[in-house]
Structure 1
């Protein structure tokens, strides 16, 4: 899904904090640092989870991811589901569906086309957020430069897997929806309660899937360990971090800054999975980094 670091759920007697405009000082710097940690955790978890593909397959790994994320987030958020209103429930339900679909499409894409290309295609989601909400010329230039880097990274090849690319694009659409829905949930439900409820609902939907995979492909301890690590690093941590970040930086800035994910995916794929990149691919990554740095400097000025 491309989620999470957040404050504990507020007691029932307190009034939920009203959404405020992100502040440009230490609060925003904290949000930037959190975004970097979230991206690194996400890509490392994806790489570790892919090691379990030969045993569990992408579907099995995603199912375990959803279970782990639900356990962690429910323990942190402790949502009081009976107190949710319809205005709070509908974004939670949509977030649960997007969360599961994003993870499933991304991991299936990783299995078919590799970590770097899959994450690059998924990045088109937050990039579209940055483009759609851009109000300054410099923001548009940054988005165009980043898009050029993405195009370079996903250039056509003789062995192109179009189904895998299509799944990467589906993950992109889910990630864009995730950014907007997570922001809505964070505004309407205090703390991590909304994200926790969405994670629990998503895990419930994947319960029969996990049982079916376990029956058809008996898991090994190593495969389960890799899937659990993926759940912690790629679901629970990013979900909480994103909830924290989206309350401190604007959604367009969040989408543009997350362009660092293809860079992290390339590095993690090289270190953990041994997936090397040629000079053309590193050129594309350099364009993404340049757009990211330019966007940050422009925002600070």
Structure 2
């Protein structure tokens, strides 16, 4: 996740009411930024998959976490010495969620492909958006999403239940990330909490990452793929989402995030040669629609919308 979802800040700006023509331009540019962010996130994941044969998901995730840490430390400039115990607790929880979420997602991509893994991961924010709701629309979205998961997990000779389980673990982590991010955002100003969590997550990967890089000695091309994945899936979405949220309402942000599984499926097909059957495409469409409807009908400030995705898997 992520793409999408490190900073719990919403930096929307409003255009002057006397200039409606000017108000349209920022909205269109915000939508373009969101589409670019989604494409960058999924292209980054596909480039990461190219490095799996040498570094494996663990090595690639380690490099990505280090890139994310550098990006967020530069943006958030945290002051950890001033953190209290009450502030450190959710930050450390967020760091563990970061570390687990991205590894689970990349391991799932390695087993079941980019499109299906990202689609299943999006059940996390959808579950948070639907949690506690009594609206019939949300109930219908939940039932539709459950049916889509059952369709994706239907028994077949090629069904990889471990891969599906890893993608669902990434979804659980993304849901936990959203909830923890709310707490971190309430207890620490700006991006300090997210930046500190990214730094701790990067440190957690130092032993395993160094071991993988030492034992498997990547070629310059493989290392470039891992670094590119970190930039495209962390730095670019982080900056794009931050700028987009200044131009469009949070509700639109959530709706545009919903197209990421479609991007993932298309890019997986174009870059990695991963083709989905008709039933899988149907399941992807159902989950994307359920997420868009649930978020789009909840109003601005919709439940469960992550404000930036620099640390998310998809």
Name the TM-score class by shorter chain.
Answer: 0.7 to 0.9
- 1:53 Cα deviation from its structure 2 partner: 0.6
User: 2:244 & 2:88 partners in 1: Cα distance?
Assistant: 22
Does residue 177 (structure 1) correspond to residue 150 (structure 2)? The answer is no
Does residue 100 (structure 1) correspond to residue 99 (structure 2)? The answer is yes
For residues 294 and 128 of structure 1, do their structure 2 counterparts lie closer, same or farther at Cα, with a shift above 3 Å needed? closer
- 1:41 Cα deviation from its structure 2 partner: 2.9
Q: Deviations 1:253-279 (Å, cap 9, x if unpaired)? A: 987874433222111211221212222
Q: Contact conserved, 2:69 with 2:199, CA < 8 A, in 1?
A: yes
Partner of 1:75: 74
Structure 2 matches for 1:233-272, cutoff 5 A?
233-238=232-237, 249=250, 258-272=257-271
Partner of 2:224: 225
User: 1:31 & 1:193 partners in 2: Cα distance?
Assistant: 25
Q: Deviations 1:194-227 (Å, cap 9, x if unpaired)? A: 1111111111111111110111100111111111
For residues 241 and 152 of structure 1, do their structure 2 counterparts lie closer, same or farther at Cα, with a shift above 3 Å needed? farther
RMSD across aligned positions (CA): 3.5
Query: Structure 1 stretches of 5 or more lacking a match?
Result: 8-16
Partner of 1:51: 50
Tell me the SS of whatever aligns to 2:297. helix
Partner of 2:202: 203
Q: Deviations 1:119-141 (Å, cap 9, x if unpaired)? A: 22222222221231324222222
User: 1:297 & 1:94 partners in 2: Cα distance?
Assistant: 29
Structure 2 matches for 1:114-125, cutoff 5 A?
114-125=113-124
What TM-score comes out, normalization by structure 2 length?
A: 0.78
Q: Contact conserved, 2:6 with 2:194, CA < 8 A, in 1?
A: no
User: 1:191 & 1:34 partners in 2: Cα distance?
Assistant: 21
Q: Contact conserved, 1:146 with 1:259, CA < 8 A, in 2?
A: no
Partner of 1:11: none
Q: Contact conserved, 2:102 with 2:170, CA < 8 A, in 1?
A: yes
Q: Contact conserved, 2:119 with 2:287, CA < 8 A, in 1?
A: no
For residues 299 and 31 of structure 1, do their structure 2 counterparts lie closer, same or farther at Cα, with a shift above 3 Å needed? farther
Q: Deviations 1:92-123 (Å, cap 9, x if unpaired)? A: 11111100111111111111121122222222
Query: Structure 2 stretches of 5 or more lacking a match?
Result: 18-22, 301-314
User: 1:93 & 1:30 partners in 2: Cα distance?
Assistant: 35
User: 2:288 & 2:217 partners in 1: Cα distance?
Assistant: 42
Q: Contact conserved, 1:4 with 1:241, CA < 8 A, in 2?
A: no
How many pairs are equivalent?
A: 288
Partner of 1:286: 285
Partner of 2:20: none
Partner of 1:298: 297
Tell me the SS of whatever aligns to 1:160. coil
For residues 70 and 142 of structure 1, do their structure 2 counterparts lie closer, same or farther at Cα, with a shift above 3 Å needed? same
